[in-house]
Amino acid sequence: MATSGKVIKCMAAVAWAPKTPLSIEEIEVAPPKAREVRIKILACGICRSDDHVVKGLLSNQKFPVIAGHEAAAIVESVGKEVTAVKQGDKVIPLIVPQCGECRCCKHRNSNFCIKNDVVNTGLMEDSTSRLTCKGKPVHTFLGVGAFTEYTVVNEAAVVKIDAAAPVERVCLIGCGFSTGYGSAVQIAKVEAGSTCVIFGLGGIGLSTLIGCRVAGAARIIGVDVNKDKFAKAKTLGATECVNPRDFTKPIHEVLCGMTDGGADYTFECIGTIDTMTSALKSSHPGLGTCVIIGVAAGDERISLDPMLMITGRTLKGSCFGGIKSKDCVPQLVADYMAKKFNLDELVTHTLPFEKINDGFELLRNGKSIRSVLIF
Ligand code: APR
Ligand code: ZN
Ligand code: ZN
């Protein structure tokens, strides 16, 4: 491509400080260094974690930053020694990379590659950024930073997908869908005939619901304080939905009453410590598994009565649904193309990139499941 090896000037949504609207600015994107890939973003979902970034809620969060991490893209150019992808490939950037060499990559059951940037450095491996705005280096979120026309990612953090896949749908496989779906099928390993409870019916919760249904759960109970979320949850396979505000007693007591003492599996897809504790208490004391998926604000802590665990519950956490990203993302795209599951119900709004702040408003007002930005 004509831009190969050159600095690209393009538009990006920059967060200069916490709690301010994103500012659409011209940025400069340097060419990729060795084992790096420069990608042109085609579509990107707005995830709740992006909202945490722009509000400055995450540990180590640094500004200015470009959030956005649920994207589909095309490779513009590659740095030296890159073998995994080539110019023109349709790709999904990976918020949890897969280097293939670290202890987690080599472990059968872990996906938490050491090259991840969940710790929020916001920089490339050499501790610099390829993105600058007004002469200042700009951080990127989760090693991706996709609210921009172009960005640069590590080779370990990008994977080729089917060129025919619709970017405005499969971008969700870059975060929300895989996180929820994997939490059900890979982390919890939901069994056919079981009872599941899902706290929070946003993009993550509904993706978890799809996973529970594909795994053959007999009962799936959705929990949300916004009853407007119930209709879609039922379309996707929830058998019942409950609103904690409709009860005077704690929601875990209500749920244990509905499930013969507690559910087989519970999933926390909200990100508050209160709902994390409720999800654990709603799992059966002797056999239940609770999976925490929601991301709490950086300084929040859970305090637990150890008796909750001693009786036989299992508490698990999930990052990117526990799936090994390079191995599984292309397969999930293929499964979507083969109609094994549908992503259409999750996308409630499609907006041009310039309307990004409107997309955040829809999320904050509980009006959207996923808004997908088109570039
Ligand atoms: N009890 C029940 N439901 C609640 C509560 C509560 N106390 N508080 C919020 N909710 C519901 C909201 O009404 C909403 O439907 O939880 C849902 C959360 O959905 P989204 O805001 O769309 O968030 P989502 O993108 O699904 O992410 C959920 O996972 O990845 C993390 O950072 C992300 O912590 C967030 C979580
Ligand atoms: Zn690794
Ligand atoms: Zn996300």
Beta strands in 184-232 (DSSP E): 195-199, 219-223
pLDDT, tens digit, 9 for 90 and up, residues 180-203: 999 999 999 999 999 999 999 999
52 lines ligand 1 (CB under 6 A): yes
43 lines ligand 1 (CB under 6 A): no
Give the chain's radius of gyration (CA, Å).
Answer: 20
SS3 assignment, position 199: strand
How far apart (Å, rounded) are the C-alpha atoms in residues 91 and 73?
A: 5
How far apart (Å, rounded) are the C-alpha atoms in residues 316 and 163?
A: 35
pLDDT, tens digit, 9 for 90 and up, residues 305-328: 999 999 999 999 999 999 999 999
| Residue 102 bears catalytic tag | no
The confidence band for 2, taking pLDDT boundaries of 50, 70 and 90, is confident
| Options 10, 69, 129, 194, the catalytic residue | 69
Nearest atom, ligand 1, residue 274 CA = 7
Whole-angstrom CA distances from 360 to 25, 49, 93, 337 are 17, 11, 21, 29
pTM of the model: 0.95
Is residue 201 within 8 Å of 304, Cβ to Cβ?
Answer: no
**pLDDT at position 298 over 80:** no
What was the pLDDT predicted at 299?
80
| Residue 349 bears catalytic tag | no
> Is the four-CA dihedral 38, 44, 46, 49 of positive or negative sign?
negative
How far apart (Å, rounded) are the C-alpha atoms in residues 140 and 319?
A: 18
Q: Which tokens in the block code for residue 77?
A: 């150019």
**Which H/E stretch holds residue 153?**
strand 150-154
- The owner of tokens 């042109």 is 40
What was the pLDDT predicted at 197?
98
Q: Is 340 exposed, middle or buried (0-12, 13-18, 19+ CB in 10 A)?
A: exposed
What does the pLDDT average to over 24-39? 98
Q: 7-16: b or e for each residue (b if 16 or more CB lie within 10 Å)?
A: ebebbbbbbb
pLDDT, tens digit, 9 for 90 and up, residues 84-124: 999 999 999 999 999 999 999 999 999 999 999 888 899 99
What was the pLDDT predicted at 60?
83
Domains in the chain and their CATH numbers? 8-174+343-374 (3.90.180.10), 180-319 (3.40.50.720)
pLDDT, tens digit, 9 for 90 and up, residues 42-89: 999 999 999 999 998 887 889 999 999 999 999 999 999 999 999 999
What was the pLDDT predicted at 118?
85
Q: 243-264: b or e for each residue (b if 16 or more CB lie within 10 Å)?
A: ebeeeeeebbebbbebbeebbb
How far apart (Å, rounded) are the C-alpha atoms in residues 177 and 163?
A: 19
Contacts for 303 with CB less than 8 Å, ≥ 6 apart: none
| Ligand 1 mutation pick, 270, 318, 345, max ligand atoms within 8 A of CB | 270
How far apart (Å, rounded) are the C-alpha atoms in residues 52 and 61?
A: 10
What is the pLDDT of the chain when averaged over all its residues?
96
SS3 assignment, position 49: helix
197 lines ligand 1 (CB under 6 A): no
pLDDT, tens digit, 9 for 90 and up, residues 205-230: 999 999 999 999 999 999 999 999 99
What is the crossing angle of helices 356-364 and 48-55, to 10°?
100
**pLDDT at position 1 over 80:** no
CA of 201 to the centre of ligand 1 (A): 7
The confidence band for 13, taking pLDDT boundaries of 50, 70 and 90, is very high
How far apart (Å, rounded) are the C-alpha atoms in residues 122 and 132?
A: 13
Q: Which tokens in the block code for residue 347?
A: 């996308």
Q: Which residues surround ligand 3, an ion (CB under 5 A)?
A: 47, 49, 175
